[in-house]
């Protein structure tokens, strides 16, 4: 029997990571060691106290029922985290709700707030889940190019008036994925003004808010005056607390948005496993020292990789935050051809920039998801390809 797929499925295809895995499988015989720096999944475990809490609560005999709207303790922990970390006051009852990982919110919010034909403003390059949400809502994407000359911040003034009037949602992601750029308070003030003028819901993806370096703490969108009037911030414990498989996160901010989204969610799922929420609440309350240790680890990895690449002639920007390096590729390649070249000649896997949007062409994303010594071996393998020899020679 031939199964008919919905027309909306035309917007979905195999992920770039599946394609990379398939290509690597074809080339598996070329290298004894493979170093995968493509998928942005933390390689480190959660803090011991979080693992202990999860195991402890899982032994409770009453832990296995539905949690429905999320437990009060988790919502209160989110509110307390925002108060102490960002100076933001949140009502845990009306301005916080759970998500099953931040992707749950990123993909589903457009269904709640966009109709077919509405415009949704997306960062370009940007996290692929944004486009997935647009497709599910049958809305239209309008890409906001993140250009190096603008500090990788979108130029709101360049948005055509007719597009701004049709826009209903704007996604922002700072510190970003794949571009680890940092937003300024002045930029966020401009965003608030734009959102109020055109009645646009702002969704700030703050997944990397705890992964910052050299003491340069990112600005929370909600900390800017007027932000709660126009938007929400979404976060998870996947990256900062290494709880990716637990699928626990939150949306916070505008109470009207939270209420509508929670109503939608009540028709989709029955909450997050109670022990996970309890452990997540402990992580948010007591995890500051752990986050500081994590930052030190990632900063050391960043320095090892960026300095090593510079030595072989590949000069890339040193990220101020996030868990990625956004690297401009040498002339003569596309992002995909360069990625395949690294697989074939070095056994090093990175992500081609075009996978994140049109403006990603000419770049690759390198994830800091391996220990320093593995990153140094990756640099040595890249050096052996000879792809960067002429640049290194000119530098000397």
Name, in order, each residue with C-beta under 8 angstroms of 153's C-beta and a sequence gap of 6 or more: 146, 174, 181, 183, 184, 187
Domain end among 286, 318, 353? 286
- Cβ atoms 236, 206 nearer than 8 A: no
Whether the per-residue pLDDT at 392 is higher than 70: the answer is no
Residues 272 and 294 in one domain: no
Token pair 């997540």: residue: 280
Which of 81, 87, 91, 42 minimizes the C-alpha distance to 286? 81
Say if residue 191 is in the same domain as residue 96: yes
The conformation of residue 6, written as its DSSP 8-state character, comes to P
299 lies in the same domain as 231: no
Nearest to residue 240, comparing CAs of 278, 302, 284, 272? 284
Looking at the domain assignment, is residue 265 inside a domain? yes
Q: What is the domain count for the chain?
A: 2
Range of lowest pLDDT (76-80, 150-154, 391-395): 391-395
Note the pLDDT tens digit of each residue in 213-227.
999 999 999 999 999
Percent of the chain predicted with pLDDT > 90: 88
Instruction: Check whether 210 has a pLDDT greater than 80.
Output: yes
Same domain, 27 and 74: no
Task: Report how far Cα 391 is from the mean position of its chain's Cα atoms.
Answer: 32
204 contacts 154 by C-beta, under 8 angstroms? no
Is there a cis peptide before residue 178, judged by omega within 30 degrees of 0? yes
pLDDT of residue 390: 63
Mean pLDDT of the chain: 94
Average pLDDT of the segment spanning 171-177: 97
Q: Is residue 1 part of a domain?
A: no
Closest C-alpha among 331, 346, 381, 354 to residue 131: 354
Residues 139 and 276 in one domain: yes
Cα–Cα distance between 111 and 261 in angstroms, integer? Answer: 9
How far is the C-alpha of 373 from the C-alpha of 376, rounded, in Å? 5
Residue 32's domain comprises: 7-45+289-385
Report angle CA 149, 153, 156 to the nearest 5 degrees: 105
- For the record, the structure tokens of 263 come out as 């109503």
Q: What is the pLDDT of residues 222-274, one digit of tens each?
A: 999 999 999 999 999 999 999 999 999 999 999 999 999 999 999 999 999 99
CATH code assigned at 145: 3.40.640.10
As a whole number of angstroms, the distance between CA 329 and CA 310 comes to 13
Q: Is 249 helix (H, G, I), strand (E, B) or coil?
A: strand
Residue range 29-79, pLDDT digits in tens: 888 899 999 988 899 999 999 999 999 999 999 999 999 989 999 999 999
């Amino acid at each position: 029997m031939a199964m008919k797929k919905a027309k909306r499925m035309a917007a979905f295809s195999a992920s770039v990571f599946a394609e990379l895995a398939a290509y690597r499988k074809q080339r598996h015989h070329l290298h004894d060691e493979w170093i995968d720096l493509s998928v942005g999944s933390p390689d480190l475990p959660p803090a011991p106290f979080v693992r202990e809490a999860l195991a402890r609560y899982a032994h409770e005999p009453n832990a296995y029922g539905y949690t429905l709207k999320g437990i009060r303790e988790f919502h209160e922990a989110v509110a307390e985290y925002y108060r102490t970390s960002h100076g933001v006051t949140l009502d845990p009852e009306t301005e916080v709700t759970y998500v099953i990982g931040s992707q749950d919110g990123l993909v589903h919010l457009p269904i709640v707030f966009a109709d077919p034909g509405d415009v949704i403003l997306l960062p370009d390059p940007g996290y692929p889940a944004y486009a997935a949400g647009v497709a599910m809502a049958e809305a239209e994407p309008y890409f906001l190019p993140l250009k190096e000359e603008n500090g990788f911040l979108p130029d709101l003034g360049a948005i055509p008036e007719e597009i701004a009037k049709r826009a209903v949602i704007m996604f922002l992601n700072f510190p970003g994925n794949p571009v680890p750029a940092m937003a300024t308070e002045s930029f966020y003030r401009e965003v608030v003004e734009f959102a109020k003028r055109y009645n646009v819901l702002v969704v700030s993806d703050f997944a990397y808010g705890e992964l910052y370096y050299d003491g340069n703490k990112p600005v929370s969108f909600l900390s800017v005056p007027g932000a709660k009037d126009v938007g929400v911030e979404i976060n998870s414990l996947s990256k900062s607390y290494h709880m990716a498989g637990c699928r626990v996160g939150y949306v916070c901010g505008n109470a009207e948005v939270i209420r509508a989204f929670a109503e939608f969610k009540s028709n989709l799922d029955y909450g997050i496993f109670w022990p996970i929420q309890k452990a997540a609440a402990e992580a948010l309350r007591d995890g500051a020292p752990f986050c500081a240790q994590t930052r030190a680890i990632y900063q050391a990895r960043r320095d090892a990789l960026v300095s090593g690449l510079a030595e072989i002639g590949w000069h890339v920007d040193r990220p101020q935050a996030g868990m990625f390096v956004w690297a401009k590729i040498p002339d003569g390649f596309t992002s995909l051809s360069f990625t395949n070249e690294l697989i074939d000649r070095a056994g090093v896997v990175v992500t081609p920039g075009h996978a994140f949007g049109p403006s990603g062409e000419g770049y690759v994303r390198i994830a800091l998801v391996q220990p320093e010594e593995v990153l140094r071996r990756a640099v040595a393998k890249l050096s052996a390809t000879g792809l960067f020899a002429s640049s290194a020679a000119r530098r000397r």
